[in-house]
Structures are given as C-alpha cells and as structure tokens.
C-alpha cells in the first residue's frame, strides 16, 4: 500500500467515525453522501453555519474514487471580490500589474479531485456567469490567457444562506443554482437532531482527552447531559465542540458537571424550562432568546447571524425590531 493510499484510507475512516448519526434525518444524509461519493454529478450542501458542510464535502471526496486526488477548498467569503477570479481561474504572466509569472488557479489545482466552493452565494453576478460556463462546459481560461483548460474535478458547493431566496431577489443566477443543485443535500440543525447531541458530546470529549491527555474528564454528569440536550445550539455542532472543550478544561474532576458549562447555556430559557422551572417560556420568548444569543455569539455581525439562523438579513432586522433587540 502506498503512503498516499494509506493517508486517504485514514481520512476516510476518520470521517466515518466523525459522522455521528443516530437521528433519522442524519442517517439519511450519511447514506446519501455514501451513495453520491463516486458520482460525477454536482452537489449543493446547505444548512446553518456549524452543521458540518465541510465534513460532508470531505466525505463526498474521501469516501469515493477521487480520494487519491486533491480536495481543494475555496473559502469564497475570505477572498476579496477583485481577486476572486484570479484565485479561481489562475492568471498568465502580465495579466495585471504585479503578475510577474503565471499562476494556476484553484480549479486547475484540483486536478481530477474535488473543488469545494464554500459559500457559493458570495460571488458577484459577473463571476457567477463565468462559473456557469465552468459548471456547464467544464472549461475555463486563466485571467489574461487564451488557452482553454478543462476542469477535471467534481464540483461541490455549499451555502449557509437561502440560495432560493437569493434567486428570487435576482442576486444569484437561477441557471447556476439549478446546475449546482443536481443533488441538493440539506444538513439539519443540531436542535433538530436531538438524538445526536449526547453521542456528539461524548465523541468530542474523547477526542479532546486523546489530544490533551493528563487529567481531562472522561464523562458527563446526568445534569450536564440534560442541559446539553435542552439547549437550542445556535452555533450547531461547531458550538457544541467548543463548549465540550471549555467545560473539560473547567472541570475539577474526572466528570463534567452541570456548573462547568457556560452560563449562556444554563441561563437559556429552553434549559431552565427543561430542568424544572415553573415558568414555561412561550415560543416567542425562546425565539427572542435564540436570536439574542446568536447576535452575542457573532458580536453583532448581522450577515453571520442571519446565516446561523437560516433567515435573510431583512427577516433578522424585522425580528430584532419586533423583540426590541435594536
């Protein structure tokens, strides 16, 4: 067995153990990812921030026949608009000021592997039109070049926002959306897959213990587990992982107790209600608390908060006004 094959095999096994799926929704998602891993067709992954779209993209790659080829992730929100085209398509020498030598783009570097376009809703309409050609014809040119290159990689895209709403607003091309979403996999929010919260928490606890060693806790108390299950998790699986790591470092013994959890979790209306408070919060109170905690989590960033909540910025603004969160 070659070193590359052994490495990809380890990656595939690690992904299999990381996909905790006891909830029926998640079981169906994992089954679909395995079924599509060898398919050449485009896949669109959608879901709130922190639901595991990166993990799903990696599974599509490493569980299939492209595993020995590159998996190239393009984090579109992190690329300035004026650099996005050259990052994706590459450029030839002299294409613009500062282009002293030719450079291949991400599409080219992906080879016969997978190109993962994270947050596909970000590009401007002009670049969307160029991406449409790549998706349809599998061809492109470097910036400043005339030679037509062929895309050998499979395209996997993701979005935390509502792409269909973006299509209706004419901020995202309808034809590009339909070409990218040949298979559209929606990852459920953690609050909608309650059966997975405890197994995920235990998985993260074990992983942190292996990484940090020493006297890191090995289990949760029943009170801590009940609080974790009752919380709404606006940051989804990513937030749970961070909470487990923090609680493990705060714990004084071999077990994580309820008081080791962050105050934001223990003071959440959903947790207080589940743990026996006489006050039964209304749906509106729970929603207000959820939005308020999400805004705190992202330090007031409206775009990120809307993505986590799975709503538009306009809808978030209206809810803030309704609940007096301005």
* Interval 8-22 mean pLDDT: 75
Taking only the tens place, the pLDDT of each residue in 51-78 is 999 999 999 999 999 999 999 999 999 9
The CATH code that applies to domain 191-323 is 1.10.8.60
* Interval 19-40 mean pLDDT: 93
CA 238 – CA 257 distance, rounded (Å)? 21
Instruction: Say if strands 154-159 and 149-150 run parallel, antiparallel, or are unpaired.
Output: unpaired
C-beta separation of 63 from 12 below 8 A: yes
* Interval 148-159 mean pLDDT: 96
Instruction: Say if strands 219-220 and 71-75 run parallel, antiparallel, or are unpaired.
Output: unpaired
Taking only the tens place, the pLDDT of each residue in 285-312 is 777 877 887 787 777 888 878 877 778 8
Least confident of 104-113, 151-160, 313-322: 313-322
Residue ranges per structural domain of the chain:
3-188, 191-323
pLDDT score, position 1: 44
For the cut 50, the answer to whether the pLDDT of residue 218 exceeds it is: yes
Fold held by 3-188: Rossmann fold (3.40.50)
pLDDT score, position 7: 60
CA distances from 137 to 43, 131, 132, 172, 218 (A): 16, 10, 8, 19, 53
pLDDT score, position 314: 83
């Amino acid at each position: 067995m070659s070193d590359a094959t052994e490495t990809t095999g380890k990656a595939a096994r690690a992904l299999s153990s990381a996909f905790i799926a006891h909830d029926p929704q998640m079981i169906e998602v994992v089954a679909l990812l395995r079924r599509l891993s060898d398919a050449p067709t485009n896949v669109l992954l959608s879901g709130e921030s922190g639901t595991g779209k990166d993990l799903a993209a990696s599974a599509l790659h490493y569980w299939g026949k492209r595993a020995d080829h590159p998996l190239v992730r393009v984090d579109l929100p992190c690329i300035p608009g004026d650099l996005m085209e050259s990052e994706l398509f590459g450029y030839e020498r002299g294409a613009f000021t500062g282009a002293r030598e030719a450079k291949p783009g991400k599409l080219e570097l992906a080879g016969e592997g997978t190109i993962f376009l994270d947050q596909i809703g970000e590009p401007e309409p002009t670049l969307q039109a160029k991406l449409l050609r790549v998706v349809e014809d599998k061809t492109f040119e470097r910036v400043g070049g005339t030679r037509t290159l062929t895309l050998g990689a499979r395209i996997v895209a993701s979005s935390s926002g509502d792409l269909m709403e973006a299509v209706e607003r004419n901020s995202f091309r309808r034809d590009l959306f339909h070409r990218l979403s040949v298979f559209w996999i929606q990852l459920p929010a953690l609050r909608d897959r309650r059966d997975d919260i405890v197994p995920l928490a235990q998985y993260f606890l074990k992983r942190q213990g292996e990484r940090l060693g020493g006297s890191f806790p090995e289990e949760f108390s029943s009170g801590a587990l009940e609080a974790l299950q009752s919380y709404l998790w606006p940051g989804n699986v990513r937030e749970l992982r961070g909470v487990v790591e923090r609680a493990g470092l705060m714990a004084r013994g071999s077990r994580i107790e309820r008081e080791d959890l962050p105050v934001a979790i223990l003071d959440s209306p959903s947790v207080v209600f589940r743990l026996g408070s006489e006050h039964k919060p209304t749906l509106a109170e729970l929603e207000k608390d959820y939005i308020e905690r999400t805004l705190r989590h992202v330090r007031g960033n409206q775009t990120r908060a809307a993505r986590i909540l799975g709503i538009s910025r306009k809808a978030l603004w209206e809810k803030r006004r309704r609940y007096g969160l301005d």
